[in-house]
Structure formats: structure tokens, C-alpha cells
Amino acid sequence: MCPLLMLWYPCWCILLGNFCVSTFSFGPGQHGGDGIWSGNELHNSGSISSNHSRSGISSYAKTLKISLPLNSSVSCEDLEGVGSFDTTCLVNSNLYLNSDLYIYGTGNLEILPHVSIACPIEGCMVTINMTGNVNIGQYATIVAGSVVFAVANLTMDSHSSINTTALGGSPPPQTSGTPVGDDGGGGGHGGRGASCLKRNKTSNWGGDVYAWSTLAEPWSYGSKGGGTSSWNKFGGNGGGRIKIQVKEIVCLNGSIAAEGGDGGLIGGGGSGGSIFVHAVKLKGYGTISAAGGRGWGGGGGGRISLDCYSIQEDVNVTVHGGLSIGCPGNAGAAGTFFNADLLSLRVSNDYVMTETETPLLDFPTTILWSNVFVENYAKVLVPLVWSRIQIFKP
């Protein structure tokens, strides 16, 4: 029997997970991150620094004195690659950028194993727009604040990564993702950040949520965590943004990450950023994560949406809140994982204990969602305009 709640009152209702039986099975995730990105020095505006990788022909350092064309595509040669973007370009050098990168072509791109393309600057944008296929080899990484792919097929070999963790730019204006005050609260985005202040029941959360209206196609940065003093104004940085628009297949054995940054003992964790994947088929054993960062108060999870006709094998999708060092029982709240093909919403905290809620705002009235799963210690808050909610107790 399923108890049916009729909710019409102008107030909020807190639902505790687990409810709704999950039939979704998550397989073993793989964790990348052993790439060779080492955060080397940056160069003058608009220049690229290149270094041949371990797998490259030779190992020497070289700085290219070229200017990156603004808003127009670089060439394969500019990246010290072999071939061209209109046929196939092989990138075998590490690239350290300090401004946005735009790659456009009608061919294929292959990033060889262990190569890293990095623009480790908040909000720095890497766009790869190609008619053909992109292959990211084992242990290869792309690090930036925003990463956009518009390609036919994207293949990410094991231990490869697209990583915008802690590289978010400014969150949308008029949002309050970064908590005020100096109690080291976590940043909010898909879920609220945690606060370790226990004085007052109504204020035991840090940064607030935002960007609910773009749940199905998220494109907002996460927020910084709060600081613990006027010297330490901020905690961990917010997660970045990743948009993957693939015409055919995404084969993911590596990881796609937009996690919040770590605030340590002196600040809240940043909130997770945004990840959107559109493809006909998504398969593999990799990880897609917009988890909140760890900190004095943990950051809230970000927003992930997958718009894929079929999802095969065991891609591990995670939006859990970050751990709170100052109050381990109250991590950041879970973010949102929307399946835009099945129209289902999943809010899971991956068994990370929390007291902090994930507010779910307007329920869609034009198209009905098939399911809302609240599970694995997530806690949601719904306005009672969600007129009918069926709760299935496992």
C-alpha cells in the first residue's frame, strides 16, 4: 500500500530519505586524477606553454610565444599537435593556458595518454567544437573552469578526466550560495551548504540553493564556502561547469568532475558546479560528479542532468554534499541529478549523514515527472504546491 499525501497548505514539508525504491544500480566507479597536471607557472596573457609528455617523443620544456586568437579557433600546430583539426589532430604535449581556448574543426581530435590541457583559472573556458570524434587517452586531463564539447562521439579512456573542480567563476547574480557571516558554512547550489552553528535551529545551514529553473540543463558555477574570520573571508571554491553535447555515443571510463573545493579547517567547502550531458548513448564504467567540497561546514552538491536516450553499463553519478569537519553528522546537502530523458529526479547523499536540506522548488505543471527519488540520507524540503506526492516506503 502506498500512502498518498495530499498537500495543499502554504508551508514546507521535510521528507527524509530513503523513500522511493530505487531500481537503479551503480557500479564500481573509477577514480581518475593520477594525471600529470602539476599546476606550473603561468605565462603572459594569451600565450600557451607547452611541455612534451612522458608518452611524447622527447621530454623537454618549451614555451610557445604565440597569441591565442580571441574567439576564433587555434590550429593544431598552435597546440604543437600533429595533423589538423579538419582531418585528425593528435595532441601529444602538455598545454598550460592562461586564457580561453576555442577549438573548431571538421575532423577528429585525439589527446594522447598522460597529456594535460590545463587552464587552471577560475572561469577559464575550453570549448571543443568538432564534426568528428574526440578521444581522451588514459590519464589525460582537461582542466578549466568551464568545458564545452560539441562533437560526434566522445571517448574517455580509463583514468582520463575532464575536471573543473574548484575552478568555478562567479555564480549567477542575486543568488546567496556563499553564506554570510564567519562560521565557515559550506556553499550552496543544488543543495544547501552545511553550517556547524547549532545555536539556532532555523539557521543551521550555510549557503542557499539556486538555479532550480535550469535543473534540466544546468549551467551555473558552484559558490565559494564561507570563511571563519575577516582574514579568511572565503572557504573552498565553487565547482565549474561542463556541457557535453554529443551526437552519438559517449564512452566514459574516466571521470567528469565539477566538485566544490576543500575549505579545510578555516572555511566552508565550495558547492558543486554543473554538468550536462546530451548524447544518444552513454556507456562505460566512469564517474560523473558534482559533489560538494569538504570544509568546516561541507558544501552542497551541484546539479547534474543527463539527456541520453540510453545509459548502459555502470556510470556512477554523484552529487552528494561535502563532509563537515566542524560537525561530522551534518554534511552539505545533496544536489540534484535529473534524468531529462526519463524525467526523473534523484537526490542522493551517498550515505553521507546530513541535517541540511535540499529544497525542491516549483513542481512542473506542464509535463509530469515520472519519479522523484530521495535516498541515501538525503533530506528534501518541498513547497506544498507539490499537490500530490506518493511516498513508497521500501
Interface positions with ligand NAG (CB under 6 A): 26-29, 32-33, 40, 49, 51, 59, 61, 70-71, 127, 129, 132-133, 148, 150, 152-153, 155, 157-158, 161, 163, 165-166, 200, 202-203, 248-249, 251, 253, 255, 257, 284-285, 287, 316, 318, 350
DSSP state of 354: -
Residue 97's H or E segment, with its range, is: strand 93-97
**What values do phi and psi take at 203, rounded to 5?**
-115, 30
Alpha carbon distance 301, 344 (integer Å):
18
266-292 CB burial, b ≥16 within 10 A, e <16: bbbbbbbbbbbbbbeebbbbbbbbbbb
Minimum separation from the CB atom of position 46 to ligand NAG (A) = 11
Q: How far apart are CA 169 and CA 164, in angstroms?
A: 10
Nearer to ligand NAG, 126 or 148 (CB): 148
**What's the min distance (Å) between Cβ of 118 and ligand NAG?**
10
Q: Beta 303-311 vs 141-143: how paired, if at all?
A: unpaired
Nearest distance from C-beta of residue 327 to ligand NAG, angstroms: 17
In terms of CB distance, is 106 or 387 closer to ligand NAG?
106
Residue number, 182 or 389, with CB nearest to ligand NAG: 182
Residues β-bridged to residue 103? 128
Nearer to ligand NAG, 203 or 214 (CB): 203
Minimum Å gap between C-beta 213 and ligand NAG is 21
Please enumerate in sequence order all residues whose Cβ is within 8 A of that of 48, keeping only pairs 6 or more positions apart, or say none.
Answer: 64, 66, 68, 78, 79, 95, 96, 97
Distances 273 to 127, 135, 217, 227, 287 between C-alpha atoms, Å: 17, 24, 12, 19, 15
Contact 331, 352 (CB under 8 A): yes
**Closest separation in Å from C-beta 302 to ligand NAG:** 13
205 residue type, one letter: W
Q: What are 66-69's contacts with CB under 8 Å, separation 24+?
A: 68/97, 68/99, 68/100, 68/101
Shortest gap between Cβ of 155 and ligand NAG (angstroms)? Answer: 5
Identity of the residue, 285 or 386, whose beta carbon is nearer to ligand NAG in the bound complex: 285
Which uninterrupted H or E stretch holds 82? strand 82-83
Of 132 and 267, CB closest to ligand NAG: 132
CB closer to ligand NAG, 50 vs 223: 50
Nearer to ligand NAG, 7 or 131 (CB): 131
Please state, in angstroms and rounded to a whole number, the distance separating the CA atoms of residues 211 and 191. 11
Contact 88, 106 (CB under 8 A): no
Closest CB to ligand NAG among residues 73, 175:
73
In whole angstroms, the minimum distance from the beta carbon of 150 to ligand NAG comes to: 4
* φ/ψ of residue 64, rounded to 5: -85, 130
Bridge partners of residue 244, in order along the sequence? 149, 277
How near is the Cβ of 70 to ligand NAG at its closest, in Å? 4
Q: How far apart are CA 324 and CA 1, in angstroms?
A: 38
Minimum CB distance to ligand NAG, residue 379 (Å): 18
CB of 231 to ligand NAG, least distance (A): 22
Determine how β-strand 336-339 pairs with β-strand 303-311: parallel
The answer to whether 165 touches 259, Cβ cutoff 8 Å, is yes
CB of 388 to ligand NAG, least distance (A): 32
Toward ligand NAG, which CB reaches closer, 31 or 386? 31
Which grid coordinates are listed for 248? 552519438
Of 78 and 157, CB closest to ligand NAG:
157
